[in-house]
């Protein structure tokens, strides 16, 4: 009997250990896929997350930039990857919004992915070229509504469906102004034309926008956060100046393909959260104008679901058209 019990115990342990190993990331390299070119906010967030996971899990973590289609190419690649925790998406707000406004329920972020955690959030900053005769967000609103400005102003974005594009759409909708959208292949290209005066308005990343404003290259007028942002407390929100439903946050998170085992998700999440709570990482994230995330997979999943609901309502109200 003792011998039989020993055999059963050994077999049970072997079975349990096999299941455990199968449900945790192995030692193969982890790919963090970013849907935009190197150097932008999503790329920076992804590289911070890669360093954290590499240090905490003791594995090689490679950032792979697969730019194109406003992040959809990267999202598709990860959604179709093996759900083993070795291929992750550095998701951005466009991944949440685009499938909703394009009416593609099968591509909803809540359908195709399992949330790992939030890396960081940040608002955009409304900036204008110095040639515009405005010095505040209220003056800009009055200017874009004037007959003289009609069809003569344009705003730059990092591409269709990006936060900079959606912020511009919400702004145009709230003001009732006719502003031409000029999409670029990434934030850097849009900034070049803004600084050159070829476009007049942009909802830029907070870090770049504030640096350019400080040097006099642009005028910073407002932020897109629901309340004033700690790193730019002097700037009002768009809602403060009378433009409701214009809050727009840039979100940078980690997603795994749907069907990834919970044990894998939890291990990745714990590693990410531990790293995000360290002072040096928090400081690096603050340097790009963002606040570190501190959510469990469940909390991040709840946030994503609420955002999908929000954009479904806005789409039904005709607040924007992704083609403009």
**pTM for this structure?**
0.81
CB 35 within 8 A of CB 75: yes
pLDDT at 20: 37
* Spatial distance between the Cα atoms of 283 and 71, rounded to a whole number of angstroms: 27
Strand partners, 223: 125, 237
Q: Which CATH number does the domain 29-121+249-316 belong to among 3.40.50.620, 3.40.50.261, 3.40.190.150, 3.30.565.10?
A: 3.40.190.150
Element (H, E) at 89: strand 87-91
Q: What angle do CA 274, 300, 257 make, to 5 degrees?
A: 90
Which tens digit of pLDDT belongs to each residue from 202-236? 999 998 999 999 999 999 999 999 999 999 999 99
Q: Which CATH number does the domain 123-223 belong to among 3.90.550.10, 3.40.190.10, 3.40.50.620, 3.40.50.720?
A: 3.40.190.10
Domain boundaries defined on the chain: 29-121+249-316, 123-223
Which tens digit of pLDDT belongs to each residue from 128-187? 999 999 999 999 999 999 866 656 799 999 888 888 999 999 999 899 988 999 998 888
Which tens digit of pLDDT belongs to each residue from 277-302? 999 999 999 988 899 999 999 999 99
Which tens digit of pLDDT belongs to each residue from 178-201? 899 999 888 889 999 999 999 999
Contacts of 79 (CB under 8 A, 6+ apart): 89, 112, 113, 257, 258
DSSP H helices in the chain:
2-22, 41-57, 72-79, 93-101, 109-112, 137-145, 163-175, 187-196, 206-214, 262-276, 279-287, 297-316
């Amino acid at each position: 009997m003792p011998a039989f019990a020993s055999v059963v115990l050994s077999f049970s342990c072997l079975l349990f250990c096999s299941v455990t190993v199968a449900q945790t990331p192995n030692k193969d390299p982890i790919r963090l896929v970013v849907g935009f070119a190197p150097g932008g906010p999503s790329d920076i967030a992804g590289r911070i997350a890669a360093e954290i996971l590499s240090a905490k899990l003791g594995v090689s973590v490679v950032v792979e930039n697969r730019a194109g289609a406003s992040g959809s190419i990267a999202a598709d690649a990860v959604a179709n990857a093996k759900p083993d925790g070795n291929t992750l998406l550095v998701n951005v707000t466009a991944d949440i919004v685009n499938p909703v406004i394009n009416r593609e329920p099968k591509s909803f972020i809540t359908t195709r992915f399992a949330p790992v955690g939030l890396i960081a959030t940040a608002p955009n900053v409304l900036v204008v070229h110095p040639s515009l005769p405005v010095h505040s967000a209220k003056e800009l609103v009055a200017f874009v509504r004037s007959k003289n400005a009609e069809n003569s102003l344009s705003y730059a974005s990092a591409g269709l469906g990006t936060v900079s594009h959606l912020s511009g759409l919400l702004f145009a909708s709230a003001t009732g102004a006719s502003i031409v959208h000029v999409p670029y292949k990434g934030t850097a290209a849009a900034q070049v034309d803004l600084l050159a005066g070829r476009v007049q308005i942009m909802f830029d990343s907070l870090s770049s926008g504030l640096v350019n404003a400080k040097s006099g290259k642009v005028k910073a007028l407002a932020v897109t956060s629901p309340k004033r942002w700690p790193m730019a407390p002097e700037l009002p929100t768009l809602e403060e100046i009378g433009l409701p439903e214009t809050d727009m946050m840039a979100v940078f998170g980690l997603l795994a393909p749907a069907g990834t085992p919970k044990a894998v998700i939890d291990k990745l999440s714990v590693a990410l959260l531990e790293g995000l709570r360290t002072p040096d990482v928090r400081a690096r994230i603050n340097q790009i104008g963002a606040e570190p995330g501190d959510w469990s997979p469940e909390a991040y999943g709840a946030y994503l679901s609420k955002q999908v609901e929000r954009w479904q309502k806005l789409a039904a109200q005709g607040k924007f058209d992704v083609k403009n």
